Amino acid sequence: MELSRSMALFRRTKALENEIDEFLDKLSESALVFRQAIELYLTDGPGAGFDEKLRQVNALESRADQLRRDIETQLYAQTLIPESRGDVLGLLENLDSILNLLEGTLWGFSIETPDIPEEFVKDYSGLTEMAVLSVEAIVMASRAFFRDHETVGDHMYKVMFYEKEADKVSTKLKRAIFGQADLHLSQKMHLKSFTEHIDNVADKAEDVADRLSIYAIKRSI
């Protein structure tokens, strides 16, 4: 009886491992689509191409939500990893909030259609790149947490690095925006808010990284 229960436990474990992997895939994919969407917006402005990317991120976000809920329920219903399930729960919810930020930023572009002057396009593109790289690094760190917690640190410092780079670009960008004499203050404020939207993604990735390093230490002792 106990043996068959254990066999069932192994099957469920495998399924759950796959779900966690899929959740991380969705997050990583969302970041990549996010970059494409912003690039499209910066080159072509709002349009069908951008809307398509937004729709993709939406779909990814709802699938990820569904996965997260399912994983959490199973962890608690089957009392799996009793001593780290709180940490896993916290990690998944924080990763999910990164996804929400990505989606929210794209909705912002779609609804508010900010008018981005040509001279800022390069910096917006650079900022987006740093934010996306920080998300990819945190996804790698999270995968390491589940399989090989010793190497979590190797990915962690990348998250920190990209976040700092993103901060530098965003500060530079904001200075440039407010230094522009021929822009109306309202447009400056508008552009600043989008700079911050994108920068927030990298900030959030760093927050998750901080938590993750604590979780990893907890597991190593």
Partner 1 sequence: MDIAVLIFLTSGLFLGWSLGANDAANVFGTAVGTRMIRFTTAAAICGIFVILGAVISGAGAAHTLGRLGSVNALAGSFMAAFSAGLAVYVMTKFGLPVSTTQAIVGAIIGWSLFSETLTDTNAMTKILATWVVSPLLAAVIAILLFKLVTRVLRISKLHILRTDAYTRLGLVFAGAFGAYSLGANNIGNVMGVFISSSPFTDFSIAGLVNFSSVQQLFLLGGLAIAVGVMTYSKRVMLTVGGGLMPLSPVAAWVVVMAHSIVLFLFASQGLERILASYGLPTIPLVPVSSSQAVIGAVLGIGLLKGGRGLRTRVLGVIGAGWVLTPIIAGVVCLVGLFVMQNVFNQQVYRPVAYQISQPVIDRLAAAGMAPGAISGLEGKRFASAVRFKRALDAKEGLGPEDKARLITYAELDEMTVDAVRIGLVETGWLTIGQTRALRRLLGRTYPRKWMLAEALIGESAGWKPLADSKVNKAYNKELRGKLDFLYRTFRTAR
Binding residues (CB under 8 A) for partner 1: these are: 2, 6, 9-10, 13-14, 16-17, 20, 79-84, 88, 145-150, 219, 221
Nearest-angstrom CA–CA distance, 154 and 132? 18
Q: How far is the CB of 140 from partner 1 (least distance, A)?
A: 14
Nearer to partner 1, 7 or 189 (CB): 7
Nearer to partner 1, 1 or 185 (CB): 1
Q: How far is the CB of 54 from partner 1 (least distance, A)?
A: 33
Q: How far is the CB of 84 from partner 1 (least distance, A)?
A: 7
Nearer to partner 1, 34 or 145 (CB): 145
**Long-range interactions of 15-24: CB distance < 8 A, separation 24+:** 16/71, 16/74, 16/75, 16/80, 17/146, 19/67, 19/70, 19/71, 20/71, 20/146, 21/143, 22/67, 23/64, 23/67, 23/68, 23/71, 23/92, 23/95, 24/95, 24/139, 24/142, 24/143
Q: How far is the CB of 220 from partner 1 (least distance, A)?
A: 9
**The amino acid at 121:** V
Q: How far is the CB of 21 from partner 1 (least distance, A)?
A: 9
Nearer to partner 1, 149 or 204 (CB): 149
- With contact defined as beta carbons under 8 Å apart, do 164 and 97 qualify? no
- What is the DSSP secondary structure assignment for residue 116, as one 8-state letter? -
Nearer to partner 1, 21 or 51 (CB): 21
